[in-house]
Amino acid sequence: MKIQHMAFSIILMTSAPAAMAFKGDAAAGEAKSVTCAACHGKDGNSVIAINPSLAGQNYSYLVQALRDYRSGARNNPIMKVQAAPLKDEDIENLAKYFSTQPGKLKSLSAR
């Protein structure tokens, strides 16, 4: 039991700093997000039911999704065009911005 507790403590201590050290500049991401606003809302809270809200999404998920759109691993013609010119730094900045925005929950009955 003591070994399990110690192992858990080591994992926690080594993973916590990495989780807090997300790359990206939220202000630069906000400036870059002007194009995103047309479909995903100014602050990442989409008002169009078919377009996902980005506000409050997980940073790592957003980074991976944009990289996958850019590479073609995720197939969406609109997003491929939007992600194609993005550099890794742009993607990290956008992910930082959207992941730090408060998401607005919508009721299923409102759709």
Look at residue 18 and tell me if it is in a domain.
Answer: no
Q: Which DSSP string do the residues of the chain spell out, in sequence order?
A: -HHHHHHHHHHHHHHHHHHH-----HHHHHHHTTTTHHHH-TTS--SSTTSPP-TT--HHHHHHHHHHHHHTSS--HHHHHHHTT--HHHHHHHHHHHHTSPP----GGG-
Look at residue 31 and tell me if it is in a domain.
Answer: yes
Count up the domains in the chain and report the number.
1
User: pLDDT per residue over 80-94, tens digit each?
Assistant: 999 999 999 999 999
Domain residues for the domain of 41 are 23-103
Q: pTM for this structure?
A: 0.76
Q: What is the CATH number of the domain that holds 95?
A: 1.10.760.10
Sites in the chain below the pLDDT cut of 70? 1-21, 106-111
Looking at residue 15, its pLDDT comes to 44
